[in-house]
Amino acid sequence: MKKEVSDRELKKIVADFLEMGHVDNIFEMFKRDKSYYCWTGELLDDERFGVRLGITVLFEELKLHCEDDIHLAVDSLCNALKESPPHVRGDAVNILGIIGSEDALVCVRNALEDDSPQVREVAKDVLEECE
């Protein structure tokens, strides 16, 4: 009998792989199944710095090779700006800047009003770089 892997288990596996530096494996997953993009905000909400750094590296690669698909993460990242700790919000703003679409930049502009001065600073830097 074949056991299905739950989304929760798979998200943990993705995070673990990112922490170990296996961004190439996760890149292939995102390339093959676009439904993973909606997990981006959730994956960023990991206490492990290596996971968050891995997501940034992942999106830099996706921007180069799958630019038509990366907008699929925007809603998830914009939601992370509302519901996450400041370090996650800052990372979300950074990735929205990598995506660089108009809807992503709307969320970055909104982050200029964030409660956290660090998030506001990241948003300011991202907008200066993008505009």
Phi, psi of 101 (to 5 degrees): -75, 165
118, 90 contact by CB (below 8 A): yes
Question: Residue 4 — very low, low, confident or very high, per pLDDT cuts 50/70/90?
Answer: confident
| Section 117-124 average pLDDT | 98
What single-letter amino acid sits at 64? L
107, 80 contact by CB (below 8 A): no
Q: pTM to 2 decimals?
A: 0.93
Of the candidates 52, 40, 43, which has an alpha carbon nearest to the alpha carbon of residue 91?
52
